Amino acid sequence: MIGARELTVEFGPVRALDGVSLDITPGEVHALAGENGSGKSTLLKVLGGVQRPTNGTVVLDNEAVQLAGVHHAQTLGIGMVFQELSLFPHLSGYANVAIGREKTRFGLLDTRDVKRQARAAMERLGLADIDLAAPVSALPVAEQQMVEVAKCMSRVPRIILFDEPTASLSRREAAPLLALLRRLRDDGYTVVFVSHYLEEVFEVADRVTVLRDGKITLQAPISEVTREGVIRAMLGRKLTDFYPRREGAPRDEPFLTLTGVSCDGLAPVDLQVRDREVLGVVGTIGSGASRLAEVIGGLRPAKTGAITVRGTKVALRSPADALRQGIAYVPEDRRSQALLQQLSIGANITLPLLAARNSPLVRAGFLRRGAERSMVTKAVGLAGVRTGDPRQPIGVLSGGNQQKVVLGRWFLREVGCLVLNNPTQGIDVGSKEEVYRHINGLADSGHAVVFVSSYYPEVLGLADRIVALYEGHVVGVFPRGSVTEEQLVELTMSGRPIAVSAHKGDPS
């Protein structure tokens, strides 16, 4: 139904796609897999009319077509759900779903029809409980993603392209969307989707295409490949130790202590974060896991309780306050909270150093360009950022590489504690391994790491202790190896106590 012939896409010296050809048959779910920068999202954008190829053609219904843009693709029955939200933040969910197809009555907007279209799309997704009357900027990121999906589905396309549709969703929230992909296939739609979660690929896809460095390295029915085979095709090597083991162990003395700390959506919490410790924090959307991270990172001031850093009581009213106490925060939403899109890759990396006391980048009020280039080169290497030229705008990087920039900037400034809010969101398996090694390296070098994640396997694989939250309450604190993924899922979805394995470690 849709495909490509010898597609090549070049961004200056970078070749994002290199002679890619593939065929996607009607009524199948076709997965695109690969590391960040492999070209999979670029391929999806070419098929959706977002990006024009440098060479080659898109094939639709066995005929070569030149897509003039997204609207042209929509008229041909191709819909796309983007990795980065393409919503109008100050408009309601109703308006965002129906935008571009509004009707008028007597020269006035027919708001009843707008609401009807939006409700129908949301009910089709099984998400009728989302508040569509609110501006989408007021909704959690996960609900904003579902509004994005509903906007695409309201146009009733016959081919739907999903670019990491579950990246901002917890496993529970992703389940209805994955079920929708299967229903669409069963109803005769053609679905192409990109996912960094191989579990999703094997759960939903009929066929998989793997790209590496802009070229296809594997095309096969999902029934004929293994997880290890897909990873090998993605990385060009065998992934022998996905969750690397720590060299050291946490120290007894705490870096950070929370006593009765609470805020809106978070009940009073008593917790310690120790030097050389990776403290995992898990919970579904609305559980309070992200709120806890925001309190520690200074984004959300505590309403009650006390916070001490190395025994000294501190007030964390802003991220700047937290940074002065040696606490750095990596937010979940990199586009709106962590990066300045109009600046270069290098400038985004060195931002924290500019504000540092006695910054090595500043002399007599002037930026030292040579020192900046040296620092950028160091951070790019440590974080594994794939970039041809750090002077390019940050927007030219893939989502995963942008996330690596956010992480890499903190390799340049000495901090005692890093608060990571879903740091591997939108990152492929190879890049995740690099991030895991960085996290372990930070802990082994003496840092305290607070690691919030909605992907439980990585928390189980990395954390020295795991804190589980449900509806704003801490419902369990578990040492490494004392709890399973199934138990964590049950606990964070129900809040009911669970029995855990005996462990010599201190669970407090």
Residue 168 has a pLDDT of 66
CA-closest candidate to residue 336, choices 84, 138, 166: 84
Residue 193 host element (H or E): strand 190-194
pLDDT at 496: 78
The larger pLDDT score, comparing residue 105 to residue 374, is at 374
Read off the pLDDT of each residue in 383-407 and give the average, rounded to a whole number: 80
- How far apart CA 488 and CA 494 sit, in angstroms, is 10
Contacts of 393 (CB under 8 A, 6+ apart): 341, 342, 343, 344, 345
Kindly list the structural domains of the chain, giving each domain's residue range(s) and its CATH number in brackets, ordered by start.
Answer: 2-235 (3.40.50.300), 253-326+451-500 (3.40.50.300)
| Per-residue pLDDT, 202 | 92
Average pLDDT over residues 497-505: 56
- The string of DSSP letters for 483-494 reads --HHHHHHHHHH
Query: In the chain, pLDDT over 70 holds for what percent of residues?
Result: 93
Mean pLDDT, all residues of the chain? 85
Q: Is the pLDDT of residue 501 over 70?
A: no
DSSP string, 114-141: HHHHHHHHHHHHT-TTS-TTSBGGGS-H
- Predicted confidence at residue 426, as pLDDT, reads 65
Q: Which SS3 state, helix, strand or coil, does residue 468 take?
A: strand
Q: For residue range 456-484, what is the model confidence (pLDDT) as tens digits? A: 888 998 999 999 998 899 999 999 889 98
For residue range 169-221, what is the model confidence (pLDDT) as tens digits? 766 677 777 888 888 898 888 999 998 778 889 999 999 999 988 999 999 99
The answer to whether the CB of 498 falls within 8 A of the CB of 470 is no
Residue partners of 365: CB distance under 8 A and separation at least 6: none
Helix then strand then coil, % of the chain, to nearest 5: 35, 25, 40
CB 90 within 8 A of CB 137: yes
Under a CB-based contact definition with an 8 Å cutoff, are residues 498 and 483 in contact? yes
pLDDT in tens, 77-91: 999 988 777 888 999
Secondary structure class of 225 (helix, strand, coil): coil
> What average pLDDT does this structure show over 34-43?
83
Contact 507, 482 (CB under 8 A): yes
pLDDT over threshold 90, residue 296: yes
Tokens of 260: 């009765």
237 vs 460, higher pLDDT: 460
Q: What is the pLDDT of residues 345-359, one digit of tens each?
A: 888 888 877 877 778
Residues 134-155: what's their mean pLDDT?
Answer: 83
Q: How high is the pLDDT of residue 408? A: 79
**Per-residue CA distances from 21 to 8, 45, 59, 175 (Å):** 10, 15, 10, 31
Assign 126 a pLDDT band (cuts: 50, 70, 90): low
Neighbouring C-beta atoms of residue 244, cutoff 10 Å? 15
Confidence label for 505 from pLDDT (cuts 50, 70 and 90)? very low
From edge to edge, which strands make up the β-sheet containing 266-274? 266-274, 254-263, 304-309, 312-314
432 against 308, higher pLDDT: 308
| pLDDT tens column, 247-284 | 777 887 899 999 999 999 899 999 999 999 999 999 87
Return the pLDDT at 463: 93
